[in-house]
Amino acid sequence: MQGKSVLLIIGGGIAAFKALLLARLLGQAGVKVTSILTRGGSEFITPLSVAGLTKQKCYTDLFDLTDEAEMGHIELSRAADLVVCAPATADLLGKVANGLADDLASTVLLATDKKVLFAPAMNVRMWTHPSVQRNVRQLKEDGALFVGPTEGEMACGEFGPGRLSDPENIVRAINDALSRDTTLPVAAASSLAPSGAMAGKHVLVTAGPTKEPLDPVRYIANRSSGKQGYAIAEACAGMGARVTLVSGPTHLPSPVGVDTIRVETARQMMTACEEALPADAAIMCAAVSDYRPDIETEHKIKKERGGLTAIGLAENPDILRTVAQLELGRPKLVVGFAAETDDVVSHAEVKRRRKGCDWIVANDVSPGTEAMGGDNNSVILLSDDGEEVWDHMPKAAVARRLAERVAEVIG
């Protein structure tokens, strides 16, 4: 990011305080930060505090004659490499999604020719409101990028999705965005036709672990967080696809614009996938338990009776192989995932051929890696054409790159 420039638009809300840390982290990374503070944002922080951290003037007023003489709002909107809106309020999202501009922030967001990264922050009921979700879907179709929100306790005392992503995560998203072309094509802004390389396509994605119950207390599961699969679902939706996400148990909020079906067991996931088909592509990212206990009791098994000295196992349905080997209604592209701890490439290639999938995404989940539960990943894409190594990057970046590759095949 060294030598890059970012225009940081700070919306209102208690999360505006985090924008100060974000500005500081960007400065430490060598990024030049120019800022706009909205009227709502100025209720929580001051232009002076922002300017002190960025070492640049903080702009606040659309009709300030001095500011217009020094740098007009049009130039301000286009001078940076990337526009970042953090926190992005429901008001700002709604204005931009519907082409409204009545202050400096909204005017700049509509006038810019650069990509915009939104980091939303608002009350959980506001975030989940149908009108806000509709605005988010529209912005994604228009080419906007998003990071968060995350799930947690709100300043108002409620709990759920709507918290501003941690500044460190926003920095990673900015770094990923700056590593790509951030210029917004004129056609993307002017076209009224359905947009996105996957527009009109249906993509099935599985994510997360499965839990196979032994009794009402215990179960067999794995360490999958679901983060990579959720990021893939969000990336495909952002490219215009209709996405069905079949998710095992996770604590992640449903991605915006995605039809999320939550299940617990492998058999439930198999049924949900069969019901979701047909699809143009199936991206099977879930870490499905290979086995389940061959018994499930209604009462807790007591160790005093020696009930847990041996657990019989029954094989679960193979969801990836079932979908990949369908004779009727097979997706045009079936992508599997392989989490390995040794001989990653060779084991993954054997799995690809055995299952019958077109591609397989292999990653090393050995102790010490952050693949399981972390925010970053290093993967190898295997296909009939060979292998591609995608070096250490945020899972959101892996998701976008994979979605772009999928779009090349089904788009």
- Write down the pLDDT at residue 194: 42
C-beta atoms surrounding 252 within 10 Å: 18
Statement to judge: residues 147 and 231 lie in one domain? no
Q: How far is CA 165 from the centre of its chain?
A: 12
Statement to judge: residues 233 and 265 lie in one domain? yes
Statement to judge: residues 227 and 374 lie in one domain? yes
**How many domains does the structure of the chain reveal?**
2
For the stretch 102-135, pLDDT in tens is 889 898 998 888 889 999 999 888 898 888 988 9
Q: What would the mean pLDDT of 331-344 be, rounded to a whole number?
A: 94
Q: Report the percent of the chain where pLDDT is more than 90.
A: 42
- Write down the pLDDT at residue 376: 86
Residue 323 domain-assigned? yes
Q: Exactly one of 156, 236, 273, 357 is catalytic; which is it?
A: 156
Q: Which pair of tokens denotes residue 337?
A: 């995932």
Statement to judge: residues 281 and 367 lie in one domain? yes
Residue 210 domain-assigned? yes
- Write down the pLDDT at residue 306: 60
Statement to judge: residues 152 and 214 lie in one domain? no
- Write down the pLDDT at residue 72: 59
Statement to judge: residues 116 and 176 lie in one domain? yes
CB distance 294 to 287 below 8 Å: no
The better pLDDT of the pair 367, 149 is held by 149
Residue 149 domain-assigned? yes
* pTM of the predicted model as reported, rounded to 2 decimal places: 0.58
pLDDT for residue 407 is more than 80: yes
Q: Which of 134, 168, 190 is the last residue of a domain?
A: 190
Statement to judge: residues 116 and 251 lie in one domain? no
Statement to judge: residues 279 and 255 lie in one domain? yes
CATH classification of the domain holding 9: 3.40.50.1950
Distance between CA 29 and CA 68 in Å, rounded? 29
Statement to judge: residues 79 and 206 lie in one domain? no
Residue 197 domain-assigned? no
Residue 196 domain-assigned? no
For the stretch 180-220, pLDDT in tens is 765 655 444 334 344 578 988 999 999 999 999 988 888 99
Q: What would the mean pLDDT of 386-401 be, rounded to a whole number?
A: 91
Annotated active-site residue 156? The verdict is yes
Listed as own residue / partner, the contacts of 306-312 with beta carbons closer than 8 Å and 24 or more positions apart are 311/214
CATH classification of the domain holding 233: 3.40.50.10300
List Cα–Cα distances, 136 to 8, 149, 382, 395, in angstroms: 19, 12, 33, 21
The better pLDDT of the pair 366, 26 is held by 26
Nearest of 316, 355, 314 to residue 338 by alpha carbon: 355
Residue 225 domain-assigned? yes
Within 13 Å of residue 309, how many CA atoms lie on the same side as its CB? 4
pLDDT category, 70, cuts 50, 70, 90? very low
DSSP line for 100-157:
---SHHHHHHHH--B-EEEEE---HHHHTSHHHHHHHHHHHHTT-EE--PEEEE-TTS
The better pLDDT of the pair 383, 300 is held by 383
Nearest of 84, 64, 82, 81 to residue 73 by alpha carbon: 64
Q: 247 has which bridge partners?
A: 207, 262
Within 13 Å of residue 23, how many CA atoms lie on the same side as its CB? 29
- Write down the pLDDT at residue 186: 46
Domain that holds residue 111: 5-190
Q: Which pair of tokens denotes residue 331?
A: 């997706």
Residue 195 domain-assigned? no
DSSP line for 32-63:
EEEEEE-TTGGGTS-HHHHHHHHSSPEE--TT
Q: Which of 121, 156, 190 is the last residue of a domain?
A: 190
Q: What would the mean pLDDT of 29-45 be, rounded to a whole number?
A: 89
Provide the Cα torsion 268, 270, 276, 279; round to 10°: 160
Statement to judge: residues 171 and 227 lie in one domain? no
Statement to judge: residues 279 and 178 lie in one domain? no
C-beta atoms surrounding 178 within 10 Å: 17
Statement to judge: residues 211 and 261 lie in one domain? yes
Q: Report residue 176: phi and psi, to 5°.
A: -65, -45
Q: How far is CA 145 from the centre of its chain?
A: 10
Which region holds residue 288: left if phi is over 0, alpha if psi is between -120 and 50, else beta? beta
pLDDT category, 267, cuts 50, 70, 90? very high
pLDDT for residue 3 is more than 60: yes
Nearest of 116, 111, 40, 51 to residue 81 by alpha carbon: 116
Q: Which of 130, 160, 190 is the last residue of a domain?
A: 190
